[in-house]
Chains A and B, each alone.
Chain A
């Protein structure tokens, strides 16, 4: 989980953003991008000395001006649960294509690619986007 992915999962959570110049912005994260530019809503801005305050309904902060962001603990807990669930799913499928049991599937793959994803030699529905079919076990 990269720092910026964590920031993305912190969307809709309250956070504190401190800028390089010492000003802090308290608000809920609306959105962010790969440059750490962020949108906040219901913001309280505090001056560097903590003696002046401004309220604003929303604001945009350029990523390069940020010193750090403080996010609630529960966001990390959310991430932990998420990755645990993902790992569990992976175990059931037998890893990410690295396992020995996967070898046979790999051999058929080139053919499958030429057929627009219609697996192997079985005749399937014609057309670019054939309807999804359940694989027979």
Chain B
């Protein structure tokens, strides 16, 4: 795929059929084979998994075929097949990682509550109900 008209322009055609990691705007990580793209960076991911990281642990959830709407993509990168096998992380079961994720989220929420409380006491109402706004994502 060496088209001269694409010389020096950012494009995704070189990534077709490679194993990619895609980071979405909501913070989720998808890994799959890129089968197709268009001018909006809409993606088709084949044999995709969702990988959840908590600390040094991760878990994979098989998800199948994704059509990702381009505007939700933050970045994508090729997975290095050689380095993939000796990650400095350890894989755990889906249940375990979901559990860990839930605990992490609860911890974050607690901390957020403390911060808002402290700010309120100092007469600052930061973020208010912004965090609950649906369009944050």
Interface residues of A (CB under 8 A from B): 1-4, 6-7, 20-22, 36, 48, 63, 66-73, 75-76
Contacts and interface: CB of A to CB of B under 8 A. Distances in A.
Interface in B24-63: 24, 26, 35-38, 42-44, 46, 63
B65 A72 contact: yes
B134 A21 contact: yes
A1 B43 CA distance: 11
Contacts of A22: 26, 134, 137
Contacts of A1: 35-36, 44
Contacts of A3: 36-38, 42-44, 67
Interface of B: 24, 26, 35-38, 42-44, 46, 63-69, 72, 134-135, 137
Given A20-B26, A20-B137, 16 more contacts: A1-B35, A3-B37, A3-B42, A6-B36, A6-B44, A21-B134, A21-B137, A63-B69, A66-B69, A67-B72, A68-B24, A68-B66, A68-B67, A70-B64, A70-B67, A76-B46
7 contacts: A3-B42, A3-B44, A68-B68, A68-B72, A70-B66, A71-B65, A72-B65
Name, among B26, B38, B69, B134, the residue most crowded by chain A CB atoms within 10 Å (CB to CB).
B69
A77 B43 CA distance: 17
Contacts of B26: 20, 22, 67
B75 to A, nearest CB: 16
A7 B64 CA distance: 15
Contacts of B67: 3, 6-7, 68-71
Contacts of A4: 38, 42
Given A3-B43, A6-B36, A70 B134 contact: no
B46 to A, nearest CB: 6
Contacts of A48: 134
B65 A75 contact: yes
B137 A73 contact: no
Contacts of A21: 134-135, 137
A48 B136 CA distance: 13
B11 to A, nearest CB: 14
Contacts of A63: 69
A72 B64 contact: yes
The 8 lowest CB-CB distance pairs between A and B, nearest first, are A21-B134, A3-B42, A68-B68, A69-B67, A2-B38, A67-B72, A66-B69, A71-B65
Nearest to A65: B69
B108 to A, nearest CB: 15
